[in-house]
Structure 1
Amino acid sequence: MTSLTSRIDAELQRLRSAGLYISPRVLEAPQRPITRVLGREVVNLASNNYLGFADHPFLKERARQFLETWGAGVGAVRTIAGTLSIHEDFETQLAEFKGTGSALVLHSGFTTNQGVLGSLLQEGDLVVSDELNHASIIDGLRLAKATKKVFKHKDMQDLERVLLENPTDGLKLIVTDGVFSMDGDIAPLDKIVEIARRYGAVTYVDDAHGSGVLGEAGRGTVHHFGFEHADDVIQIGTLSKAWGVVGGYAAGTRDLRDLLINKARPFLFSTGHPPAVVGALSAAVELIQREPHIMETLWDNTRYFKAELSRLGFDTFGSETPITPVIFGETGAAFEASRLLLERGVFAVGIGFPTVPRGSARIRNIVTAAHTRDMLDRALAAYEAVGRELGVVAG
Structure 2
Amino acid sequence: MTAPAPVPQGFPDAPLPAQLLQDARTGLERRASRLMTALGLLAVLSGLGVLALVLLVNLGWQAFQRFVALPDLQAQFNLPAGQTVADLIPGWALPTLLALSVMGTAIQMWASLRARAAIGAVRDQTLNPSADHAEALIGAARTVRPWITLGQWTPIIWTVFSLAWLPITFAVIGRIDPEVQGAVGIDAFSIAFALVSIVIQSLPGIILTWLILAAVRRWLDAVLARAQGGTAPVTPVSRPVEGWLLFVLIVLIVSTVSLVISAVPMLVLPALFSTLAASEPEFSDLASVGLTPANLQMFFSVLAGLLVFSGLVYGLLTAMMAWSRGLAANVATILDAPLPRPPAAMNDWTAVPDTQDLWKGPVTVVPPRN
Q: Which has the higher contact order (CA 8 A, sep 6+)?
A: 2
- TM exceeding 0.5: no
The structure number with the bigger radius of gyration is: 2
